[in-house]
Amino acid sequence: MEVLAMEKISKTILKQVIIPRKPESYKGTYGKTLIIAGSTHFGGAAILATSATVHAGAGLVTVATTPEKFTAINTNIPEAMTIDYHNKKELLAAILNNNVIAIGPGLGTSSVAVGLVKAVLNNTKTDQTVILDASALTIIAEEKIPLQTTAHIIMTPHQGEWQRLSQLAIPDQTEFNNFEKIQGLNPDAVLILKKHHSEIYYQDMSFQIDAGNPGMATGGMGDTLTGIMAGFISQFGYSLATIQAALLIHSVVGDKLSKKQYVVLPSKIIEKLPKYMAELSTQTK
């Protein structure tokens, strides 16, 4: 039986992580990120994840998607580069060349998508971070693909996706059971379980955010979190603090917007990020 509440993540983490940029820096300083996302019916997920990554501060962002979405992506996020994820050679080069790889938003579960998930898990290594979200998690669950990369792994399921992956019905997704399932998948993987007051499982520690609201129950909200997570790790480096800050800022901005907006749009959270990050980075600690 769970008696103690999980540790809450304090907002001070935001000021610790979001520090002023060094004058001599350049785009390479803030990391290279590859977003593998989108398919015929889910172009918006790729746009939101990519836009969130760019707005969160990743130095160079490439999106691997289906070419029919290039125009939409280039129009919405001209800062991002595009590659065709059907082109195995280009895709492999991109997997090898990026520090952070986020895969899954709007990818669907086609045979092409299955191949993309396998390509990422088979070709990433120690100094990289792989963020597994949405369709990538569904594919891993359905195809029973082992999480065998030596890269850092962050899984970001909602409760339905975690049910598929862990076989735990939602009422059974307790702290104890979740830790046990992570051990079976990959003991080094980080789990971000998205819900009202989302949870982080990191090594043998667990944390919860005390932010977020039902106005955020809007399609594309998780795709946006994936982009923020990718952008933060790319820019601030992989650490527990970076993961906590990315998860928290998404909901803190969501809460700010919900004061005046009944429904919180993912694109509005993205738009607000750079200004809020500037405010945090200049505040005294």
Ligand X SMILES: NC(=O)C1=CN([C@@H]2O[C@H](COP(=O)(O)OP(=O)(O)OC[C@H]3O[C@@H](n4cnc5c(N)ncnc54)[C@H](OP(=O)(O)O)[C@@H]3O)[C@@H](O)[C@H]2O)[C@@H](O)CC1
Ligand Y SMILES: Nc1ncnc2c1ncn2[C@@H]1O[C@H](COP(=O)(O)OP(=O)(O)O)[C@@H](O)[C@H]1O
Interaction of residue 134 with Mg ion, rule CB under 5 A: yes
Nearer to ligand Y, 147 or 269 (CB): 269
Site string for ligand X, 191-220 (x = CB under 6 A): ----x-----------------------xx
117 touching ligand X, by CB under 6 A: no
104 binds ligand Y (CB under 6 A): no
By a kind-dependent CB cut-off of 5 to 8 A, residue 227 interacts, out of Mg ion, ligand Y, ligand X, none, with: none
Of 191 and 280, CB closest to Mg ion: 191
Which residues in 159-198 contact ligand X (CB under 6 A)? 159-161, 195
- State the number of CA atoms in the 13 A half-sphere of 28 facing the CB: 2
The binding site consists of: 45, 106, 158, 194-198, 222-223
Q: Indicate which of Mg ion, ligand Y, ligand X, none lies near residue 135 (CB less than 5 to 8 Å, by partner kind).
A: ligand X
Alpha-carbon span 132 to 272, nearest angstrom: 25
Across-strand partners of 65? Answer: 84
Binding mask 156-175 for ligand Y (x = CB under 6 A): --x-----------------
Residue 61 bridge partners (DSSP): 33
Task: Say how many C-beta atoms besides its own lie within 10 A of residue 159's C-beta.
Answer: 15
Q: Does 134 bind ligand Y (CB under 6 A)?
A: yes
Q: What's the token pair of residue 113?
A: 């998508």
CB of 175 vs ligand Y, minimal distance in Å:
17
What string of DSSP letters covers 197-260? T-EEEETTEEEE-S---GGG-STTHHHHHHHHHHHHHHHH-SSHHHHHHHHHHHHHHHHHHHTT
Phi, psi values for residue 130, rounded to 5°: -115, 125
Among 185, 182, 124, 255, smallest CA distance to 193 is for: 182
Q: Which is nearer to ligand Y, 129 or 156 (CB)?
A: 156
Closest CA to 57 of 223, 224, 209, 229: 229
Between vectors from CA 137 to CA 244 and to CA 222, what angle results, nearest 5°? Answer: 45
Q: Does 225 bind Mg ion (CB under 5 A)?
A: no
Question: Alpha-carbon distance 134 to 131, whole Å?
Answer: 10
* Residue whose CB is less far from Mg ion, 134 or 147: 134
Binding residues for ligand Y, rule CB under 6 A, total 17
Cα 137 from Cα 119, distance rounded (Å): 14
What is the rounded distance in angstroms from the CA atom of residue 45 to the CA atom of residue 134?
10
User: Which residue in 117, 131, 223, 234 binds ligand X (CB under 6 A)?
Assistant: 223
Binding site, annotated residues for (6S)-NADPHX:
45, 106, 158, 223
Shortest reach from residue 93's CB to ligand Y, in Å: 28
Q: Which stretch binds ligand Y (CB under 6 A): 31-39, 54-62, 91-99, 219-227?
A: 219-227
Q: Which residues bind ligand X (CB under 6 A)?
A: 42-45, 105-107, 134-135, 138, 158-161, 195, 219-220, 222-223
Q: Which residues bind Mg ion (CB under 5 A)?
A: 134, 222
